[in-house]
């Protein structure tokens, strides 16, 4: 009862501001937005019809978006779940669509689509560098190798 009294005491500008904020939350459903603001169905129908393109409503919407950003006006997970639940329980909808809606409802409810936090798993090996001493030319290396092999054979 208090809400209805509050709405009727509001000025037209205040009503337009309230409608503008509700219309930001439901941009595809102006009548539903108006019905969420006005308890009187006739007033809600007028607002949902006439105020959609009203310059003052547009101004209030722009001010709200500039002040708060778009995040507060996006549907919450609860709103999404309610919409999916309505589709799943609509007897006029095909059974196949309803079953898919139930499946989607459970996936959203259980957080199936939430991306896990990405943890950087890049390992960098910071080992010392192997230093190879220069043994001279290839011929010197072969002579040293031959001498080493002969010594190993002799001592074996």
Q: Which of 59, 71, 77, 64 is nearest to 13 (CA)?
A: 59
| pLDDT score of 147 | 92
Report the predicted TM-score, pTM, of the whole model to 2 decimal places. 0.50
pLDDT tens, 70-102?
A: 777 777 778 788 888 888 889 898 989 999 998
Cα atoms in the 13 Å half-sphere on the side-chain side of 40 = 10
pLDDT tens, 33-71?
A: 899 888 888 888 888 888 888 898 889 889 888 888 877
DSSP H helices, 11-137, are 12-25, 30-37, 41-50, 55-68, 77-88, 95-109
Whether 105 and 81 have beta carbons less than 8 Å apart is answered as yes
């Amino acid at each position: 009862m208090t809400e209805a009294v509050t709405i009727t005491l509001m000025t037209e500008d205040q009503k337009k501001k309230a409608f503008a904020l509700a219309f930001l939350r439901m941009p595809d459903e102006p009548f539903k937005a108006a019905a969420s603001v006005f308890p009187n169905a006739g007033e809600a129908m007028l607002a949902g019809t006439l105020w959609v393109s009203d310059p003052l409503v547009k101004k209030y919407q722009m001010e709200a978006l500039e002040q708060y950003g778009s995040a507060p006006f996006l549907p919450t997970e609860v709103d999404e779940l309610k919409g999916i639940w309505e589709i799943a329980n609509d007897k006029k909808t095909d059974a196949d669509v309803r079953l898919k809606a139930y499946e989607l409802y459970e996936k959203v409810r259980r957080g199936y689509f939430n991306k896990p936090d990405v943890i950087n798993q890049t390992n960098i090996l910071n080992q010392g560098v192997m230093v190879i001493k220069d043994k001279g030319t290839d011929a010197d290396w072969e002579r040293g190798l031959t001498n080493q092999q002969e010594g190993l054979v002799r001592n074996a």
